[in-house]
Amino acid sequence: MRNFEIPTRSVTVSRDAMAATSHPSATLTALQIMTAGGNAMDAAIAACAVQCVVEPGSTGIGGDCFALYAPNGSDEVVAYNGSGRTPAAMTPEWFEERGLTEVPRQSPAAVTVPGAIDAWTRLHADHGRLPFADLLAPAIRFAEEGYAISPRVHRDWSLEEELLAADPTAARIFLPAAHAPKIGEIHRQPELAETLKRITAKGRSGFYEGPVAEDMVSYLRSLGGLHTMEDFANAHGEYVTPVVTDFRGYRIHECPPNGQGIIALLILNILSRFEANGDPQSPDRLHIEIEATRLAYAARDAWIADPDTSDVPVDELLSDALADRLAATIDLSQALTDLPPFEMPLHRDTVYISVVDRDRNAVSFINSIFDCFGTGLVAPRTGVILHNRGQSFSLKPGHPNRIGPSKRPLHTIIPGMVSHNGRIEMPFGVMGGYYQALGHANLISKVFDYGMDLQQAIDLPRMMPTSDGTSVEVEHTIADSTRAELERRGFTFTPSQDPIGGAQAIRIDWKNGTLTGASESRKDGIALGV
């Protein structure tokens, strides 16, 4: 039971259906779709389309999408990988010839072919119920008629003014009066509205062929990109088999590589080697979580890549032997100093959506343009923000995640599902780029190790190990005494410049026939049910 004297919010509880997103308009849209006869997949797609308009810094149709789907509450979870590929002409030598040692953010080299629309149309065709036009109608209305700027959206937007000002179309659309719109101002995206209408009329081909694709390709090529119309026409996602581990009697389902969901499972496997008792924010517990994350992320940066082009050791990553070996290295008296010197990328922007309908179809759905506003490049006639997912590639010779032709990068966005006794227990997800694997493990541990409700678990202070030795990025809400003790053990802390991550989750109570949901307090969103 939460302490009602502490300023926070209660979990949302309902009977028939529920949605949790990071924006109120998206959550309301999902409920409206379900009350109009749509199912959870319809609701998730419609909510995501709305967020592509009202949270333009966090997501867009020029990004990628992953989803987990549990039909009728079954634990036979369906996984879809909607991540895009590099142009067929892209090679490591292209960067070497230009003297580049990393993929620049605001460049066509950072743009892989967007996978989101392909994912939406395929998932809707296979699992949706309402006409696709009904799902995009709310987003089109917001783009045409305007939407009010919410507080977190304004904050993130204002931090990217310099990036947006560097692209003529981005500046025109997203910096009216030469600055980011303020809280409560109305913003419109008419070009995006027309693009969404074309997708409504033509489906997948309305994005990957014809005028919309031509606009994106011609703009990228004008900047020196290698993209072709064939790259867009050939874009496709795929159904994949989830990777799974057991944690405290529950089954945790994630999408397999090229995503980092398997690393969330590795962290949980390491945590399962330790007893969970007492204070979940104690120095000992946080010490274990930090070290488990550092070890698992070292494995991630060494091994996770596109399985179509590299041999990703899935069985090894999920093995008891690896979890035992890594857990045995953790010393509660001092921080580990001997980690493999793997590269560590930074955390980014995304939206995550959790939906359960009256038939207990459950959807875990995530859509991203990576950094806030992605590359900051916007296709001039269609208003499509182009993501910078290509920055997740390595340029290191011999690395399995080295950039190459028609290749998918190591991917951060990871929807999650929990099942128990043959039925789905909880669709869940955590936003925040490379934080997400740690975020998944933290949320699951706090709920199933410590018995916290979803909102309590989401609201806890967060920390994130960085690539700089024993350095840890930390929110200011971590107790001073805890931080002092961890510093004594050899960790160093840097204040986080941004709130770390974001989460949504819905838990199914099969006994009572009810739903309990929560939405990230660090964002603008809400969980609502009927």
Burial of 450 by CB count in 10 Å (0-12 exposed, 13-18 middle, 19+ buried)?
middle
Helix (H, G, I), strand (E, B) or coil at 444: helix
As a whole-number percent, the residues of the chain with pLDDT over 90 amount to 93
CA 193 to chain centre: 24
For residue range 138-151, what is the model confidence (pLDDT) as tens digits? 999 999 999 999 99
If DSSP states are collapsed to H, E and C, what string results for 511-523?
CCCEEEEEECCCC
User: Quick check: 371 and 388 in contact, CB under 8 A?
Assistant: yes
Asked whether residue 2 is assigned to any structural domain, the reply reads: no
Do residues 129 and 217 share a domain?
Answer: yes
Known active-site residue 350: yes
C-alpha dihedral (10, 248, 440, 411), degrees to nearest 10? -150
Q: Average of pLDDT values for 425-443?
A: 95
Asked whether residue 449 is assigned to any structural domain, the reply reads: yes
Q: How far apart are CA 247 and CA 452, in angstroms?
A: 16
Asked whether residue 430 is assigned to any structural domain, the reply reads: no
Q: Is the dihedral of CA 124, 126, 130, 133 positive or negative?
A: positive
As a whole-number percent, the residues of the chain with pLDDT over 70 amount to 98
Q: Average of pLDDT values for 87-106?
A: 96
Helix (H, G, I), strand (E, B) or coil at 46: helix
In angstroms, the first-to-last Cα distance of the chain is 22
Asked whether residue 398 is assigned to any structural domain, the reply reads: no
Residue 58, token pair as written in the block:
């966090």
Give buried/exposed letters for 363-373 (b at 16+ CB in 10 A, else e). Answer: bbbbbbbbbbb
Cα–Cα nearest to 156, from 518, 431, 471, 462: 431
At 280, the amino acid letter reads P
Do residues 371 and 509 share a domain?
Answer: no
Do residues 218 and 257 share a domain?
Answer: no
CA 366 to chain centre: 5
pLDDT at 231 > cutoff 80: yes
Q: Which domain holds residue 258?
A: 249-340+437-518
Stated as kind and residue range, the H or E segment containing 420 is strand 415-420
Q: How far apart are CA 245 and CA 452, in angstroms?
A: 21
Residue 21, token pair as written in the block:
């997103």
Asked whether residue 418 is assigned to any structural domain, the reply reads: no
Q: What is the pLDDT of residue 384?
A: 98
Q: What is the pLDDT of residue 339?
A: 73
CA dist list (Å): 117 to 6, 139, 432: 42, 14, 22
Q: What is the pLDDT of residue 342?
A: 37
Q: What is the pLDDT of residue 89?
A: 98
Q: Which residue matches tokens 């698992």?
A: 296
Calculate the average pLDDT of the chain.
95
For residue range 260-301, what is the model confidence (pLDDT) as tens digits? 999 999 999 999 999 998 999 999 999 999 999 999 999 998
Q: How far apart are CA 148 and CA 185, in angstroms?
A: 6
If DSSP states are collapsed to H, E and C, what string results for 171-224?
HHHHCHHHCCCCCCCEECCHHHHHHHHHHHHHCCHHHHCHHHHHHHHHHHHHCC
Do residues 490 and 448 share a domain?
Answer: yes
Do residues 157 and 34 share a domain?
Answer: yes
Asked whether residue 135 is assigned to any structural domain, the reply reads: yes
Do residues 359 and 467 share a domain?
Answer: no
Helix (H, G, I), strand (E, B) or coil at 189: coil
Phi then psi for residue 128, to 5 deg, are -85, 175
Q: What is the pLDDT of residue 454?
A: 97
Cα atoms found within 13 Å of the Cα of residue 167, Cβ hemisphere only: 28
User: Quick check: 31 and 55 in contact, CB under 8 A?
Assistant: no
Q: What is the pLDDT of residue 341?
A: 44
pLDDT at 347 > cutoff 70: no
Do residues 310 and 330 share a domain?
Answer: yes
CATH number at residue 476: 1.10.246.130
pLDDT at 345 > cutoff 90: no
Q: Average of pLDDT values for 347-362?
A: 88
Q: What is the pLDDT of residue 364?
A: 98
Domain stop point among 356, 377, 392:
392
Q: What is the pLDDT of residue 6?
A: 76
For residue range 477-508, what is the model confidence (pLDDT) as tens digits? 999 999 999 999 999 999 999 999 999 999 99
pLDDT at 44 > cutoff 90: yes
| 211 pLDDT tier (thresholds 50, 70, 90) | very high
Do residues 214 and 96 share a domain?
Answer: yes
| 349 pLDDT tier (thresholds 50, 70, 90) | low
Do residues 335 and 353 share a domain?
Answer: no
Helix (H, G, I), strand (E, B) or coil at 349: strand
Q: Is the dihedral of CA 355, 360, 361, 364 positive or negative?
A: positive
116-127 helix and 132-145 helix, angle to the nearest 10 degrees: 140
Q: How far apart are CA 73 and CA 425, in angstroms?
A: 8
Do residues 166 and 310 share a domain?
Answer: no
Q: How far apart are CA 476 and CA 40, in angstroms?
A: 37
Q: What is the pLDDT of residue 433?
A: 84
In this predicted model, which residue has the larger pLDDT, 127 or 340? 127
Do residues 201 and 102 share a domain?
Answer: yes
Do residues 85 and 24 share a domain?
Answer: yes
Helix (H, G, I), strand (E, B) or coil at 26: helix
C-alpha dihedral (253, 254, 255, 258), degrees to nearest 10? -150
Asked whether residue 415 is assigned to any structural domain, the reply reads: no
Work out the number of other CB atoms within 10 angstroms of the CB of residue 421.
10
| 56 pLDDT tier (thresholds 50, 70, 90) | very high
Q: What is the DSSP letter of 520?
A: -
Longest dimension (CA), the chain: 63
pLDDT at 348 > cutoff 80: no
Stated as kind and residue range, the H or E segment containing 97 is helix 92-97
| 344 pLDDT tier (thresholds 50, 70, 90) | very low
Read off the pTM: 0.96
Asked whether residue 228 is assigned to any structural domain, the reply reads: yes
Q: What is the pLDDT of residue 1?
A: 65
For residue range 152-164, what is the model confidence (pLDDT) as tens digits? 999 999 999 999 9
Q: Average of pLDDT values for 22-38?
A: 98
Q: Which of 121, 169, 245, 350 is catalytic?
A: 350
Q: State how many domains the chain has.
A: 2
CA dist list (Å): 503 to 52, 100, 412: 17, 35, 14
